[in-house]
Amino acid sequence: MSRSIKKVPFVSSHFLFQYLFESRSKVKPFFKSRSSTILPDFVGDTFQIYNGRSFFKAKISDAFVGKKFGELSHTRKSAVLKKARKLR
């Protein structure tokens, strides 16, 4: 079930505060708010998203607007087949 159109997109207040005040500096903001929605203001910026183990960089483009940050970072490893292991 999707979010109602009447409501505004969810963005964590801590994340928004961090983005507004740290985006002026050269340091890329680190954040763990995977449930926040990507806004059009974020296009062209690089964020460091936490996937439960480490941070990784993600550059936001127009295609990501309206999606969640959690969709960009995978939290699970992909399965490696036994045949692929033997070939190494």
Using DSSP's 3-state secondary structure scheme, residue 2 falls into coil
DSSP state of 75: -
Which value, to the nearest 10 degrees, does the dihedral of the CA atoms of residues 62, 66, 70, 76 take? Answer: -70
CA angle 17, 21, 22 (to 5 degrees): 110
DSSP state of 22: H
Give the residue with greater pLDDT, 6 vs 84: 6
Q: For residue range 55-81, list pLDDT tens digits in order.
A: 888 898 999 998 998 888 888 887 777
Are the C-beta atoms of 37 and 70 separated by less than 8 Å? no
Give the pLDDT confidence of 29-62 residue by residue, as tens digits. 677 888 889 989 889 888 888 888 888 888 989 9
Write down the pTM of the prediction: 0.73
Residue 65: per-residue pLDDT: 92
Q: What one-character-per-residue DSSP string does 35-66 give?
A: TSBPPGGGTT-EEEEE-SS-EEEEE--GGGTT
Query: Is 13-74 CATH 3.30.860.10?
Result: yes
